[in-house]
Amino acid sequence: MLRPLDAFDWRRKKVEYTYRFKEFRYILRQIKRSPLTIVGIGIIMLFFLTVLFAEWIALYPEDYHAVHMESVFQRPCLDHPFGTDDMGRDIFSRVVMGSRISIMVGCVVVFISFAIGVPLGMIAGYAGGKVSEFIMRVADMFMSIPYLLMALAVAAILGPNLRNAMIAISIPWWPIYARLARAQTLTIKNELYVWSAKAIGASEFRIIFKHLLPNCLAPLIVQSSIQFGQAILTAAALGFIGIGAPPPSPEWGLMVSTGRSYMPDKWWLTFFPGMAIFVTTLGFNLFGDGMRDVLDPRLRR
């Protein structure tokens, strides 16, 4: 027989364990439902593993900038699974090493545009009125700059390299975060818990960053995931037109660009880096879409 006290204790422990577990299981179930999300997660995991163990996966890590004139333009074979390029470098190794550049571009671009856009957007949403108008009109201005022109201008002023390319991509992108953060802030800034925070003497700064920010994070995370893939794609585009990473580096866009002149006979020069760009971007997009479904509270039951 259970005495009432035992019953209570038992129930309490159960609550403690099940809740977190349920939430986790819910997310898992939701992910299981869409095979595309699983594909996305698989690609992203593969990508991150490649980044982490690039030295070990790459067959010839020194091909980052070595030149082997004796082995130029070899077709894909066992020694060189993706073939070799015009300098005799192993393309597989270069694609693997290039993943590090891509992840850096993705992280830096998303970080910069997030760090500029989200605080500005939240301030605009919270303050409203003239402050909001001002910030959002400035955001519109930035949004109207085509990123390629921006990148060209930045490259012309600061010189063409990867760092400047990343800055050039981030600048027209922060308004996306600002708009999202503003919209999200507007919907939750009149929630009662914000009022209770005001009533206990919390400053505006504390309310915005401790109460509002965690509550509007979900769509921002989704956006970041999609932007991550976009950033890699855009950096590759800049590399392709020659205002991204400078030549010896195994940046994927740059590799496509150098291989372009040997098309179509020596297709492997462009095909494999191109596929790397395609697959990675696709992976982040699929993941972002899947996350939107999981994190969207309206779809919850």
Helix spans in the chain (H): 4-33, 35-52, 54-57, 91-127, 129-143, 147-158, 162-188, 192-199, 204-206, 213-215, 217-240, 252-260, 268-295
What is the nearest approach in angstroms of other proteins to the Cβ of residue 190?
9
* Closer Cβ to other proteins, 29 or 210, answer by number: 210
- Asked if residues 117 and 102 have their Cβ atoms less than 8 Å apart, the reply is no
CB of 5 to other proteins, least distance (A): 11
Residue closer to other proteins (CB basis): 5 or 157 = 5
43 Cβ contact list (under 8 Å, min separation 6):
279, 280, 282, 283, 286, 287
* Site residues, other proteins (CB under 8 A): 12, 15-16, 19, 129, 191-193, 195-203, 206, 210-211, 214-215
**Dihedral sign (CA 171, 175, 176, 177):** positive
Nearest to other proteins of 140, 191 (CB atom): 191
Q: Which is nearer to other proteins, 141 or 221 (CB)?
A: 221
State in angstroms the smallest separation of the CB of 12 from other proteins: 7
Give the separation between CA 66 and CA 87, rounded to whole angstroms: 8
Q: Which is nearer to other proteins, 75 or 210 (CB)?
A: 210
Angstrom distance (rounded) from CA 104 to CA 83: 26
Closest distance to other proteins from the beta carbon of 125 (Å): 14
Residue 291 CB, nearest approach to other proteins (Å):
17
d(CA 187, CA 202): 20
- As measured in angstroms, the least distance from the Cβ of 299 to other proteins is 17
- Tell me which residue of 110, 132, 109, 108 sits closest to 121, measured CA to CA: 132
Closer Cβ to other proteins, 41 or 188, answer by number: 188
